[in-house]
Amino acid sequence: MMKEEKAYPLGARRKEVVVMMTLKKVLKRTWAVFLAMLAGISLPLLIWVAIIIVFRQMYLEWRAIRAGLLAGNLTCSLTADCPPGYQCLQGKCLPVASQ
């Protein structure tokens, strides 16, 4: 162990420590910049994905309601339970007869 300590002059050890500390700071900054860029890129993409999912769900629900209306098996208790253009007759939503 004594031979290793004498092999490196004291000044060289200090320079080595300074280089390692500088490298550590640079890596920390690089990692922080990488994470900031990742967040900046991924957040708009996640917003678009959420918008697509919402519109898809709205479309699927609209299709299910539309299929129920076309089949004539959408049940109701009041006219307010039916979508616009339909009225509640005998517990089913039926289209309003145009005059």
Helix (H) or strand (E) run with residue 63 in it: helix 10-71
Distances (CA, A) of 16 to 20, 25, 26, 32, 60: 6, 14, 15, 24, 64
Higher per-residue confidence, 27 vs 84: 27
Q: How far apart are CA 24 and CA 2, in angstroms?
A: 28
> Has residue 64 got a pLDDT over 60?
yes
Give residue 45's Cα distance to chain centre: 8
Regarding pTM above 0.85, the answer is no
Task: Of 10-14, 51-55, 77-81, 90-94, give the lowest mean pLDDT range.
Answer: 10-14
Average pLDDT, the chain: 82
Mean pLDDT, residues 34-48: 92
Q: 13-44 burial, b for 16+ CB within 10 Å, e for fewer?
A: eeeeeeeeeeeeeeeeeeeeeeeeeeeeeeee
Distance CA 69, CA 73 (A): 7
> What CA–CA distances, in Å, run from 26 to 29, 30, 95?
5, 6, 70
pLDDT at 79: 79
